[in-house]
Structure 1
Amino acid sequence: MTRARDRLLWVFLGVLFFLSVIPCGCRTRCPIDVDETFAKALRIWPGIDIPDSIDAKCDPVDWRSFSYPQDVKVQVTISFGDLFKAHSCEGEIGLYSFEGNLLDTRPVVPQTRVYEFTFTAQKEKSYYFKISARKGKSAYVLRAEVSPIDPCASCPPERCCKEAGLCCEPGTVCKGKECVPADVCDPPCGRGFLCVVGRCEEACPQGCGKGYYCDEARRACVPTSPKQKQVIPEKPKVETLPRCPAGKTYNPKTGQCEGGGSNIVGKVIEATQTGKGVEVIINRGSDHGVRKGQTATVGGYQFTIGTVSATRCKATIPNASADELKGKTVTIFGD
């Protein structure tokens, strides 16, 4: 009786051992997962094919990270399985920013082999790919390519410094290879020109007709005086000065033709139409003996010298036209 009991005990223990050993012997051993969290993400090197695999049972999640020492456009391609052959994996690929925000996501299905992600990577910022499988398994190849960013892709032409590789801030323009304030021109613009986004432009490119002048601030031709409904007076008759022999000039003060030794001859270098007549600048001044108040003539008009500088003098001639006086010879009479 004791032997039978012992035999039954040994059989029972043997069955227990068999039941405990058999399942362990058939269980699949999974390799150690080294990239199952973003903190363990393996680096993506541009221009290199990186092979890996994913398995819903043993290796359900892979994390990969990408960064670059400058701003670039990035294209990442992840190819599952073999060429022209469907794989058996179902899952998802997610792209995350360095702040942890989801930028893009794609479902992984057996009918699709290649998945492409394109994004702009900021200098030295990390971006993460989470590749997960919920069913099946597959090998895959990951490859990243980078290309420089066009700094002027969304930049106004005047702010684009392509050679310097940058887009100037609002309120500045590109000049040479640097950004300068938009309202500064170097060298400064001359008369009749305005500084527009760092470049000199004509205020009135088409010019202004008779009776109008260019308002540089408005960049428009405006009348020299407000338009009024009135009778335009007849142009006064110009007194014809007597002809004098060669070498002599008529002096209206004395009414005589006098020798030209004390007279000064110059030329109108600038004539501007104003509401009072024509303002002329003559290329003679105090260095040539000109004094304020002297009488002078030009083109049949008699007038009085006003402001005098060392090499220039200025006067206003009523009832005259700027077009007919510009470039004319002026005679300034001596005392």
Structure 2
Amino acid sequence: MTSDDIPSGRTGRAADRTGGGAAQKAVASTAPFAASGAVIEADGVRRRYAGGFEAVAGVSFSVGRGELFALLGTNGAGKTSTVELLEGLARPDAGTVRVLGHDPFRERAAVRPRIGVMLQEGGFPSDLTVTETVRMWAGCTSGARPTGEALDLVGLAHRARVRVKQLSGGERRRLDLALALLGRPEVLFLDEPTTGLDAEGRRDTWELVRELRDGGTTVLLTTHYLEEAEALADRLAIMHRGRIVTAGTTAEVTAARPARIRFELPEGVPAARLPLGLRAAAEDRRIEIRTHRLQESLDELLTWARESGIRLHGLDARSASLEEAFLDIAQSASESEKVAA
């Protein structure tokens, strides 16, 4: 089957999402492509829309083989616009993009058979069954997996004879993933892959993505679920208004943000009795301490509690989460823009 045979609603997109064929960690880099050895590379990439709006404003990053890289950002940050350039769906207005060493727009024939794309929104022919849908897309895919194998991968084997219009939103996302994996891609683009999935489906998808990465597949993920990026990503970048404002491992991104210690003091013990070295915010008997020295502060707190004969109820100590770092970065970037204006 050729792309001309594809039903309306997804015409022209089949070859952009299916692939064929098949750990080194890369760091954000603007090194020449030939020397970097990365699988996905963007160097000073810009993309403008009608009216002069610049959705991508000089983005640079690279992704190594077998690495999972998450691209995060608020709505309108430029994530999807960036990913579309990497998928070869559009040409950058400036800068350079390479996937597997090729320009994905000009050299589509060299790139498409080796990548898989899970779009943010699918558009399946609603009257086909799940099996018929997979077989249709397999006809456009070099070296496609057997239909049963593809459905087993995403937990849809028991829904094989069900019509697409009878699937839940989460099941349609699983079908979208099955189609992206049909050609055993070397590079996999996942755009909001777990939207609509329940907690069990999300965890199953995470495990599948980990297995693909561990098997050598390079994955670029966009997601609004920060716990998803925290659980899966080897490295990540956070975009704001078309620019990358921070990048690195989760630990590197969160390192500059304070950890927190929370607990509740017993009745009759005022917050003023806490050691002077621990700055605390108190609400009734609930205490929250923010610190860049988590181990030392926790040790100081526990020593004080033991020596004072005080029991700390509901004690919870943890480093800054990716969500906290994300919100802090987004707020700081917005405030900087207001000052500049």
Whether these two folds match at TM > 0.5 is no
* Higher RCO (CA 8 Å, separation ≥ 6 residues): 2
User: Of Structure 1 and Structure 2, which has the larger fraction of its residues in strand?
Assistant: 1
Report the TM-score, using the length of structure 2 for normalisation.
0.16
User: Of Structure 1 and Structure 2, which has the larger fraction of its residues in helix?
Assistant: 2
